[in-house]
Structure 1
Amino acid sequence: MSIVGSLGGAAGRPLQPAPDWPFFDADFAVAAQTLAQVQALTPDAAAQLWTRHVSAHPDETHPMQLRAGHRLQATVSGPDWLAEFDAVSSEHPAQDGCVARFLSSYFHAVVAAPVFFMASRTRVYALTPAALAACWPCLLAISDEGPLLYQPATGKFVYFSPQGALAGGEEGLQPV
């Protein structure tokens, strides 16, 4: 099953132990059926998605480089992901915490629509909303420098700040 079917047949690849190591790390304890709901995008497909949904400006290659006043402005605050990230283990699974509950409730509207973790213009992962609850620590182990979650089907997004703040919004809504 391709999560990124709308981007073309060669847009995604299955996870691999070397480049995608956190998904296979025992500390994160991600089940095989959950891993099947995650794909890495090729750099070209990632760039296409970024250009279409985040920014066409060539100097905006990372979420932290988006210009002031960018259309993706946060309107909702979430829990502190950093404190919870440090506590994740096989005894304290990621899907049992406040961050997973926030993400699940935020991206629940279109359960089948993928959520994209955008570390940069060329490093993107596609996940089902169900997999996101279990895999968010893996994603932040790959990049915790201001990555973006985005669900094109709903226009919803979430930013992870490097200091632990979690904030989200929807395209078209103005910050309060």
Structure 2
Amino acid sequence: MEDDAGRPLQPEADWPFFDADFSMSAQMLAQVQALTPHAAAQLWTRHVSAQPAETHPMQLRDGHRLQPTVSGPDWLAEFDAVSSEHPAQSGRVAAFLASHFHAAGAAPVLFMVSRERAYALTPAALAACWPCLLAISDESPLLYQPVTGKFVWCRPHGALAGGEDKLQSV
């Protein structure tokens, strides 16, 4: 990614990362990069869709190449239970994300809210920060790891589903 592709996390725009309920350490926050709208759009076009009408994961056409093949745990049930006694990284959602994106080690995972809004984070940060990301948007955001072509949909009402980009696996 280019140096100007990211911007620092901002308390207002990226509020969950600064919310005491999520208690993210400075070390963890350093592993999260908010992308500029331009950088997010470039990544969306390259990895998700070049179609102008497909600007959000819920707008992707039927039969899109990113079709889930694996079901994951219910993120909503765990989201409501996350606390200092039950950290996000100790649950089934974090375990599913870690196992799904494990092949590339520290290769970044993109959290794509839309064509213009995305975050890049390490898999370790993803395991700890997934509640922050879903507080930003729980309207079918897409997690995508360009190096592996693996993705996870975070569907409304808690359903997690994953798979592998059909273009990457050819």
Name the TM-score, length of structure 1 as normaliser. 0.93
Indicate the residue corresponding to 2:59 in structure 1.
65
- Does residue 1:162 correspond to 2:156, yes or no? yes
Select the structure that is richer in helix: 2
How far off its partner does 1:127 sit? Answer: 0.3
State the partner residue of 1:4: none
- The amino acid across from 2:124 in the alignment is A
Residues 92-129 of structure 1, C-alpha deviations (whole Å, 9 max, x = no match): 11001000010011111111210000000000000000
Structure 2, unaligned stretches of length 5 or more?
none
Question: Aligned partners of 2:23 and 2:85: how far apart in 1?
Answer: 9
The one of 78, 82, 98 aligned to 2:76: 82
Number of residue pairs aligned between Structure 1 and Structure 2: 167
Q: Equivalent pairs: percent with the same residue?
A: 80
Aligned to 1:119: 113
Confirm or deny that 1:109 pairs with 2:116: no
Paired residues for 1:14-33 under 5 Å: 14-33=8-27
Task: Give the secondary structure class of the aligned counterpart of 2:79.
Answer: helix
Runs of 4+ in 1 over 6 A off after TM superposition: none
Q: Output aligned runs, 1:24-43, within 5 Å.
A: 24-43=18-37
Q: Does 1:171 align with 2:165?
A: yes
One-letter amino acid of the counterpart of residue 128, structure 2: A
How far apart in 2 are the matches of 1:104 and 1:14? 25
Farther-moved stretch of structure 1 (132-141 vs 25-34)? 25-34
Structure 1 gap segments, 5+ residues each: 1-6
Shift of 1:137: 0.3
Q: Secondary structure at the match of 1:159?
A: strand
Q: Secondary structure at the match of 1:55?
A: coil
Provide the C-alpha distance between the structure 1 equivalents of 2:37 and 2:105, rounded to a whole number of angstroms. 25
